[in-house]
């Protein structure tokens, strides 16, 4: 986005109270979460690494200014890190998850209808005049900074797509101070901005679709907004037509207040060291099954079909080996015992000594808990005793490794678990890693 100046009218036309959508997102969320508990990182180039300390998945603006790109491998940067004053952090998912929950909690205190879109983004449904919207956006920005220490940008528009567009303007144009209400910007300035933006800046349009649109003479966001919606539907898809209408201010994307698991639930991870025995893989599958159970419990869901798989590296000397197993259960469940036993049915298909680099569990045929009546014939004894909710309640009260089923309940980390050699303390979830403050 070009550093073009957008001005807010001194006396914006008061259209009366109307319905709007706000998008609030945290700037460089992983880096910002690290800086909350380590102020020495502020102003320094910081990057957060992917699983097993592989590559950069989050960058501070100072790191971007050094020319570091998203996805750049750490091994290429490590040697020059000291010279660049660059700080690298391993992914601290426990910390990020907690800060995300707190971020959404503050938003729910500020608005009645909130839809969490991702770990660092949320849509909010609002009603008000333009001056009221500007005041609300600044209040939210200031409150999140005061209570959490997280910098956010707020974009407000008549639709989700316009909220995304205005949020991007708030993020890129410094003079807006992190807040942009689309309809409070003069129309001529909006048109000029959209004329300078390539069409792939539209939320939902990626590179391949942008090339197809360019073939029809649609190269900027303004071209796309002004295109014939019927032509877009016939030449491309109804989804593309809806995005065009959204840019014109016609809501086409539903606001879903309840965040829920849709379609399938996947728990998988690459290992820091290969797993070569069935005994080790039994622990992996047990741990993943219990994580999947906990997520189902939180979202009040049950699964009818369980798929478990393991895979060697694509560069495996004897060729890739990827055994898998799919099981349809008698009845839908979120019980960790049942899911663990089912996942372990994969073990006989594994070959001892083979170096498996990744494994996972996929739950499908999801349904709401209690949607179908459960007959006594199919009732699982563990589910009757609420084993899953009991485990989850103990973990919330104590910490994640406090309790588990079988081998997955071991507290000691295993060699195959994710490598995070530069992880910061899990300040908000582990008693032994609480920050220490000393009076001087």
How is 198-232 classified by DSSP, letter by letter? BGGGSTT--HHHHHHHHTTT--BHHHHHHS-HHHH
Angstrom distance (rounded) from CA 9 to CA 33: 35
- Residue 409: the pLDDT is 53
Looking at the DSSP bridge assignments, the partners of residue 115 are 123
Q: CB count, 10 Å around CB of 352?
A: 9
Nearest alpha carbon to residue 117 among 96, 134, 100, 93: 100
Task: Judge contact between 288 and 359, C-beta under 8 A.
Answer: yes
Residue 150 has pLDDT above 50, yes or no: yes
pLDDT digits (tens, 9 = 90+) for 47-106: 988 877 778 888 999 999 999 888 888 888 888 888 899 988 888 888 888 889 899 999
- Residue 221: the pLDDT is 92
The three-class DSSP label of residue 123 is: strand
- Ordered domains of the chain (ranges, CATH): 18-176 (3.30.70.270), 186-248 (1.10.150.20), 264-371+380-398 (3.30.1490.100)
- Of the two residues 4 and 354, the one the predictor is more confident about is 354
Q: Percent of the chain, pLDDT > 90?
A: 33
Least reliable range by pLDDT among 50-54, 90-94, 264-268, 416-420: 416-420
Strand 324-333 with 301-312, pairing: antiparallel
pLDDT digits (tens, 9 = 90+) for 387-408: 666 666 665 665 555 566 665 5
Residue 372 has pLDDT above 90, yes or no: no
DSSP string, 32-73: HHHHHH-GGGTTS-EEEE-GGG-BEEEE-HHHHHTT--TT-B
Residue 185 has pLDDT above 70, yes or no: yes
Q: Percent of the chain, pLDDT > 70?
A: 81
- Residue 406: the pLDDT is 63
DSSP string, 336-387: HHHHHHHHGGGGGGS-TT--EEEEEEEEEEEEETTSSPPPGGG--HHHHTTH
Task: Judge contact between 156 and 127, C-beta under 8 A.
Answer: no
Q: CB count, 10 Å around CB of 175?
A: 9
- Judged on CB neighbours under 10 Å (0-12, 13-18, 19+), 228 is exposed
Mean pLDDT of 308-322: 75
- Residue 162: the pLDDT is 95
**Sign of the alpha-carbon torsion through 15, 16, 18, 22:** positive
If pLDDT is split at 50, 70 and 90, which confidence band does 8 have? very low
Record the tokens describing residue 290, joined without a space: 């219990």
Mean pLDDT of 33-60: 87
Strand 121-128 with 265-275, pairing: unpaired
If pLDDT is split at 50, 70 and 90, which confidence band does 4 have? very low
- Residue 49: the pLDDT is 87
Mean pLDDT of 118-144: 92
Angstrom distance (rounded) from CA 206 to CA 220: 13
- Of the two residues 263 and 60, the one the predictor is more confident about is 60
Please tell me which of 118-122, 135-139, 366-370 the model is most confident about, judged by mean pLDDT: 135-139
- Residue 33: the pLDDT is 92
Strand 152-157 with 179-181, pairing: parallel
Task: Judge contact between 95 and 424, C-beta under 8 A.
Answer: yes
If pLDDT is split at 50, 70 and 90, which confidence band does 416 have? very low
Residue 345 has pLDDT above 90, yes or no: yes
């Amino acid at each position: 986005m070009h550093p073009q100046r957008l001005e807010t009218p001194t006396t914006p036309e008061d259209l009366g109270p109307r319905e709007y959508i706000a998008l609030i997102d945290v700037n460089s969320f992983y880096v910002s979460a690290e800086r909350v508990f380590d102020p020495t990182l502020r102003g320094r180039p910081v990057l957060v690494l992917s699983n097993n300390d592989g590559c950069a998945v989050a960058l501070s603006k100072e790191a971007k200014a050094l020319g570091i790109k998203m996805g750049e491998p750490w091994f290429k940067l490590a040697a020059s890190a000291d010279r660049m004053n660059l700080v690298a952090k391993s992914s601290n998912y426990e910390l990020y998850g907690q800060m995300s929950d707190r971020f959404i909690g503050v938003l729910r205190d500020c608005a009645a209808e909130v839809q969490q879109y991702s770990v660092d983004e949320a849509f909010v449904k609002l009603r008000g005049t333009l001056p009221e919207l500007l005041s609300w956006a600044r209040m939210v920005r200031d409150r999140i900074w005061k209570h959490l220490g997280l910098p956010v940008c707020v974009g407000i528009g008549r639709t989700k797509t316009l909220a995304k567009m205005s949020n991007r303007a708030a993020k890129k144009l410094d003079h807006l101070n992190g807040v942009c209400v689309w309809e409070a910007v003069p129309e001529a300035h909006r048109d000029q901005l959209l004329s300078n933006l390539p069409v792939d800046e539209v939320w939902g349009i990626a590179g391949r679709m942008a090339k197809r649109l360019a073939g029809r003479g649609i190269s900027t966001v303004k071209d796309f907004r002004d295109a014939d919606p019927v032509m877009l539907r016939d030449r491309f898809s109804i989804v593309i037509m809806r995005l065009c209408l959204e840019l014109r201010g016609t809501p086409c994307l539903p606001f879903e207040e309840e965040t829920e698991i849709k379609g399938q639930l996947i728990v998988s991870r690459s290992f820091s060291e290969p797993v070569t025995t069935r005994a080790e893989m039994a622990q992996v599958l047990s741990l993943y099954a219990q994580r999947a159970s906990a997520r189902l419990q939180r979202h009040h869901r049950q699964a009818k079909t369980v798929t478990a798989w393991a895979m060697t590296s694509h560069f495996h000397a004897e060729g890739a080996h990827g055994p898998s197993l799919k099981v349809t259960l008698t009845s839908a469940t979120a019980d960790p015992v049942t899911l663990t036993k089912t996942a372990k049915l994969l073990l006989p298909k594994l070959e001892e000594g083979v170096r498996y680099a990744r494994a996972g569990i996929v739950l499908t045929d999801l349904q709401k808990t209690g949607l179908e009546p459960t007959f006594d014939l199919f009732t699982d004894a563990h589910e009757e005793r609420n084993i899953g909710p009991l485990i989850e309640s103990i973990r919330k009260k104590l910490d994640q490794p406090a309790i588990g089923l079988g081998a997955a309940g071991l507290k000691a980390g295993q060699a195959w678990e994710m490598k995070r050699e530069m992880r910061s303390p899990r300040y908000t979830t582990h008693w032994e890693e609480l920050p220490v403050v000393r009076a001087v």
